[in-house]
Amino acid sequence: MLQLHYRELGQGAPLVVLHGLFGTLDNWQTLARRWADAGHRVVSVDLRNHGRSPHSPEHTYALMAADVLGLFEQLGLGPDTTLLGHSMGGKVAMRFALDYPDRLAKLVVVDIAPRASDMHHQDEVLAGLNAVDFTQCTSRQAADDALARHISSFGVRQFLLKNLYRQDDNTFAWRVNLPVLTAQMADIGIEITGAQPFLKPALFINGGKSDYIDANDKLHGIPALFPNSQVATILDAGHWVHSEKPDEVFGLVQDFMGM
């Protein structure tokens, strides 16, 4: 169990927010401030091997859920807490809900299903991140140029470059634990299973242009583990639903927590 880095805003019923693969808590700060202003205690988290949280050679959903449980205990978060996770963070949130159901009131999962993924869609991202040679890279632009040889999308590169930082010796590095994430990418795609379903309310939010949640997930995969769930689709949004349609995500989660 690792002691995770987090940021806390506001007061009220708790909402804990978990980012996705290669992300940090900063990805959710605009929405976190809005939920805090709306009357919630919002705790945004850097998961292990991401952001400012510790690095570890192990990166499993059981361990990440246990890390989050440690944070719940550290902050005295009670069973009135809502846990929200996006993508990889959504799988952490599902694992947490299934392993520690008594610690939650509600679950929100953003654009991910419990089923397995082969993770080949991350091949170009991994190639780009691993192509950046920090013995030669002396600027953000140089890092972007190296990424661009593998990743054509400017938006994806800007998202990844949020992990770039200067070390004490003035050299650049990634905040993510890239060797471990590269080695364990297949494990990040594993299916989430449970001996018993999570019976409390769950909200799944998916982007209408994303294939991370499909029709079979809605009919079978999600209800099997989360029978008291609903799926809300935000049209004209892709996988990064919260950055593309923040007003819609804010409203859906705010309404769900108020139910």
Instruction: Determine the length of the chain.
Output: 259
**Rounded distance, CA 170 to CA 173, Å?**
10
What is the spatial distance between Cα 106 and Cα 202, in angstroms, rounded to a whole number?
6
User: Contact 176/165 with Cβ under 8 angstroms?
Assistant: no
Helix (H/G/I), strand (E/B), else coil: 13: strand
- Token pair 């029978």 is found at 227
Q: Which two tokens stand for residue 83?
A: 């846990």
Q: CA angle, 73 as apex, 71 and 78 as ends, to 5°? A: 105
Catalytic annotation, pick one of 53, 87, 210, 229: 87
Whether 239 is catalytic is yes
- Active-site residue flag, 87: yes
What number of other Cβ atoms are within 10 A of residue 226's Cβ?
25
Torsion of CA 74, 78, 110, 101, to 10 degrees: 110
Beta bridge partners of 207: 234
Q: Is 210 helix (H, G, I), strand (E, B) or coil?
A: coil
Q: Considering only CA atoms, which of 53, 172, 45, 119 is closest in space to residue 161?
A: 172
DSSP code string of 109-151: EES--SS----GGGHHHHHHHHH--TTT--SHHHHHHHHHTT-
Query: Among residues 50, 59, 239, 242, which one is catalytic?
Result: 239
- Site of tokens 């978990």: 18
**Active site (catalytic) residues:** 87, 239
